[in-house]
Amino acid sequence: MKTIGFLIFIFFCFTGKNWGQTKDRPIFPKEGMDSSSFATVIEGKKVNLYTLHNGNITVYLSNHGARLVGLSVPDKNGSPTDIVLGLPKGADYNTSGGSLFGPIVGPYANRIANASFDLNGETYNLTTVNGRYAAHGGPHGVHRTVWDVDSLSATKIKFKCVLQDKYGGFPGNRVIYVSYALTHRNELTISYEATTDKTTVMNLSNHAYFNLNGEGSGSILGHQLQLFAEAFTPVDRSLIPTGEIQPVKENKPFDFTTLKAIGRDIAAENNTQLTYGRGYDHNFVLADHKFSYLHHAARLIGDLSGIVMDIYSHEPGIQFYSGNFMSGKNTLKNGGRDEFRSGLCLEPQHFPDSPNQPAFPSTVLKPGQLYRTVSVYRFSTVGQLNMK
């Protein structure tokens, strides 16, 4: 496998078709991490670290939660920069404070009001958070599952997990596949597929914390963000959508239709939505949400690194979380801490609480149907944008 990865690396170096080439393969993390130091056993299953590489981008993944552990891309000077926050050891993720760094979340990403929903005349009760709602599948979510590795190559890995009927409270025996792949266009593609033998609800996403200036580099408030969304779903005090879809033009701090610094409006006074979320923690309704083709969802630019991340997705919404509850409790891979707003999440998804909101796009998955969605993370630099 190492030989294949090395040959691909040599190929990309000499074709001259890629941007930001570096002489050496990116090192991750600063003091190194290998599979032996990351390996652990959780619930009787082996957890390992896996590496994908295409000559420019290096991705580090774990089968615990089908998790994105690190992502190294070249900055505006060609220096490899790890832009995903992660923890030093595999066992560190098996804690309440570490479990949501980089995993796939589901079977229902985000929140469900009252931790229950009705489907086909039956009520399904889920594990609650603070006795008020369910979030990311709770303690039985797929972020806590040790997935199987279905296939592996130098640039692609496919994970598999099987959830039994009523596991976590959700109906159906479900089979879920998630693939991570690197392309020649400097993209990381995450593909999701799922089937069920009983009508259920399904909403999968990735919960990586990004800092495009580099892990542990400080606040994300200077990052420039554009969301291709003309509306968002307002929330109540528990951050559950009220059912309303509000144009962002009617709530100016939520207007990211053009690039602006995340910190510009985050402290706006007398804004109930920002008060409820302690900042941004909201689902944005993508402009092309009624169509199933791959559409532009977001653009994020690191103000210091010049790294640009464009997100494309099949999903109707994207959750933007500005790291409002981060508090420095966790040590990161490079020895830094997960300080307040030192990372952000951009999660392509269906809307939160859709099972209880008939007007929202449906998340129902029936036997014989294939749940399939794709999200693409394309990387470039500000210099390349300026040349377009």
**Is residue 207 annotated as a catalytic residue, yes or no?**
yes
Q: Write down the residue that tokens 């890629």 correspond to.
A: 18
Which residues, other chains included, contact 201 with Cβ-Cβ below 8 Å and sequence gap of 6+? Answer: 107, 108, 117, 119, 170, 354, 355, 363, 364, 365
Helix (H, G, I), strand (E, B) or coil at 118: strand
Q: Write down the residue that tokens 């979340």 correspond to.
A: 105
CA 376 from centre of chain: 11
Distance between CA 265 and CA 260 in Å, rounded?
9
Query: Could you say which of 143, 207, 289, 350 is catalytic?
Result: 207
DSSP string, 374-386: EEEEEEEEHHHHH
Query: Could you say which of 223, 289, 347, 350 is catalytic?
Result: 347
**Terminal CA-CA length for the chain:** 37
Q: Write down the residue that tokens 């944008």 correspond to.
A: 385
DSSP 234: -
Q: 363 with 131: CB under 8 angstroms?
A: no
Residue 45 amino acid letter:
K
Structure tokens at 111: 């929140």
Distance between CA 242 and CA 278 in Å, rounded?
17
DSSP string, 257-281: SS-EETTSSTT-TT-HHHHHHTS-E
| Spatial CA neighbour of 174 closest among 160, 155, 189, 188 | 160
Helix, strand, coil fractions of the chain, as percent rounded to 5: 15, 40, 50
**Is residue 347 annotated as a catalytic residue, yes or no?**
yes
- Residues with catalytic function: 207, 347
